[in-house]
Amino acid sequence: MNGCTLRIANWQNDSGALRAIREAVFIHEQAIPPELEWDEIDANCIHVLAMDSAGKPIGTARLSSDGSIGRMAVLKDWRGKGVGSALVQCLLGEAWSRQIKQIGLNAQTYAVGFYLKFGFQQVGEEFLDAAIPHVRMVLRLSTENV
């Protein structure tokens, strides 16, 4: 992950940067309607923000209080460079430090292999969310995967 840094962010102070990434990836690139992207739980989530060496936001993900990872987005030019893996690792560490024992997420089906690398397992059948195929995945946290 050359030229990139991560930090814990919060919605109150960092919503502009977090929104910019999610708008680029979800609303513009994946054509998700804005009313499906924004929800009331953003203000209560732990967000992680990835930035390039110039401080420009390039990736984000969030962890909700119930142990769900969501809204993971990396700008197109930064995909395949370890940013997504760093975001997941950071949120797994945050979950561990908060004694959250099980993490869940709804993965777009093309990304299942990415999450399998961290030990997530698929549970249930494929479903549509915002007209995009997803599967539910879960991970029991242990010292091996944090």
Sheet holding 57-63, edge to edge: 4-9, 46-52, 57-63, 68-74, 102-108, 132-140, 121-129
This prediction's pTM: 0.92
> pLDDT tens digits, the chain, 146 residues: what are they?
567 899 999 999 999 999 999 999 999 999 999 998 999 999 999 999 999 999 999 999 999 999 999 999 999 999 999 999 999 999 999 999 999 999 999 999 999 999 999 999 999 899 999 899 999 999 998 876 66
> Which residues on adjacent β-strands are paired with residue 70?
62
- One-letter identity of residue 107: A
SS3 21: helix
Query: To which H or E segment does residue 31 belong?
Result: none
Which residues neighbour 124 within 8 Å (Cβ) at sequence distance 6 or greater? 135, 136
Q: Which two tokens stand for residue 15?
A: 């919503």
